[in-house]
Structure 1
């Protein structure tokens, strides 16, 4: 979804899908097995398809958002290529789509489309920012309220998300406590960026899984949840983020949830160096595929040739 005309700082995420595809050039069916997952998504008997780019209007945001919703709804109506591998508790399973952004506003049309088949769903939101603000100063029309920092508030007003959603990695500056109160009213529990030091990765995984339970859940990942030193190509960087390795470990711990879709957004390659961010984003998409295909987190693998075994 090459859309970036609802950003509040640096533009450029319309080229994110291109950068992620470029970063995935070394990922292929012939070598998809990973030590972390002990699996290969391309060897699981499922059909994985790149559906191409959604054509979005670069001049009219209302039209562009409508185009994205129509495109997503159309894909959701496709018959499953491998229905025997469908996961989840829904009576009528649908294709599960990984969306490449684009700025984070693309999640609003995605949630509108998902709502037609699943009703209100929970959201796991990895980001440096809340994205639940009601509006920005100067938002004087309905459409000007819809930005990459307000879309969750709009989604809550439209009844698209449940009151069992959760953020992880938040570390942005706020107006004050009122922002947190508003965030809670939109339906989110908050795990801050600092919590990875204070709580540790296993506890963060436990908190997310406890919050979500068995409900249908959508996973939305803003690349800026990673520290800009490791993923500089993003429109609104915030210092003090998680490492790529920490984030990948948390994702593995969420396997087996009732995922109905996922996205990775805000990759803006004009600010990248040596494809650092594009490669990281592509690798996270590989993790999304494994999450879709796994009934539970992978078993911790014992290192081979551990010198301690000889003591």
Structure 2
């Protein structure tokens, strides 16, 4: 009868262990037992100066012992275990510690420059847990945490598919490219009053932008926001434009989000005017975005009123619709975006519902016929060379995701691509 590894240990433990408790309260055994021979090093104390001492052990086996078990014991006898250093700094970190985005350092970013403890960083990642301006399904307030969970396998390494052939991105590890990247945690945002919540977000973003960078060629940090519903982009654009001037916006979405508030929300009450479908109208109206320099990518949702298309153009946007991906090809799509934004500072905003609902079901307003994750990542990589000063990924609603967290994982990968654009030389 074949005896398994565990079975061998169990049977031997039952027959040969004879533990007693010493006066010091420690276990000891009157004779050498097999469990101690196999696992003794696991329980060995470290002296704190480094790896545990490695000792050669011999195994006392019966002549009729199972051959497979003998072979295992022989292997461990010839290859004694070596334990890592006690500081654990080089151990696998996928599931350890407090979860920050891609394991980047956590920083206190919301303090004043004058408090004497102002941190230094070049790129800040910050959460905006807000979803009380949605028109359909809530839940995106839990998006920042979900995206961080989806980023646990990120944090270093070169992607062989990053960028177009011959691109500098092919040899880039954005987490080790000379930029200090930190996770600022989430801005406190009340769920009870949108006016207060959006003001909180603006003040949090402003505090992040007001910090000093390590890289001398950066006049202000670059900021990536984890949404939250798409309304949070309005405050991110306000803060970014204060340091960079009017921005060219590359807007990946299935919806135009330039709706006149009289058409969406504001026609009911004035307090509902600012929402996740009107924020680009207000960004244009307030001068946060440059005139006639912005682009929608992936649009496919129906308009609400006959005037929507005209109003969208008045807000400074052109459109690449989702079906254009089947007609134009990646090179043409990327070319149109670059030609549109020119050399202005660029803000990239990605509503995760730009992806097809089969790819990203965990979102508030899913629409059929969207992009694949590969299509989105390819176009993002094609934007290499743009001056990307800020970005966000929004509308991740984990309550509607699969149990495989596919929406959160792809959202994290989108941010990884944006980090590539921000750090490539």
Q: What's the TM-score, normalizing by structure 2? A: 0.66
Residue 309 of structure 1 is matched in structure 2 by none
Paired residue secondary structure (1:52):
strand
Mapped pair 1:114 → 2:243: no
Residue 290 of structure 1 is matched in structure 2 by 420
Q: Which moved more, 1:179-188 or 1:154-163?
A: 154-163
Cα shift readout 1:233-266 (whole Å, capped 9, x = no counterpart): 0000000001000110000100110111000000
Higher relative contact order, structure no. (Cα contacts within 8 Å, ≥ 6 residues apart): 1
Paired residue secondary structure (2:415):
helix
Cα shift readout 1:117-167 (whole Å, capped 9, x = no counterpart): 222211000000000001125645443100000001011111111121110
Larger Rg: 2
Q: Matched residues in 2 for 1:20 and 1:175: separation? A: 31
Residue 177 of structure 1 and its aligned partner are, at CA, apart by 4.2
Residue 45 of structure 1 and its aligned partner are, at CA, apart by 1.8
Residue 294 of structure 1 and its aligned partner are, at CA, apart by 1.7
Q: Matched residues in 1 for 2:209 and 2:312: separation? A: 29
Residue 272 of structure 2 is matched in structure 1 by 144
Q: Which moved more, 1:243-252 or 1:40-49?
A: 40-49
Residue 35 of structure 1 is matched in structure 2 by 160
Residue 261 of structure 1 is matched in structure 2 by 390
Residue 36 of structure 1 and its aligned partner are, at CA, apart by 1.8
Q: Matched residues in 2 for 1:177 and 1:219: separation? A: 28
Mapped pair 1:104 → 2:230: yes
Q: Matched residues in 1 for 2:237 and 2:179: separation? A: 25
Residue 245 of structure 1 is matched in structure 2 by 374
Aligned length: 286
Residue 195 of structure 1 is matched in structure 2 by 324
Residue 174 of structure 1 and its aligned partner are, at CA, apart by 1.2
Give runs of ≥4 in structure 1 deviating > 2 Å. 81-84, 137-143
Residue 223 of structure 1 and its aligned partner are, at CA, apart by 0.3
Residue 275 of structure 1 is matched in structure 2 by 405
Gaps of 5+ in 2: 1-127, 163-169
Q: Matched residues in 2 for 1:28 and 1:115: separation? A: 29
Residue 60 of structure 1 is matched in structure 2 by 193
Gaps of 5+ in 1: 87-92, 296-311
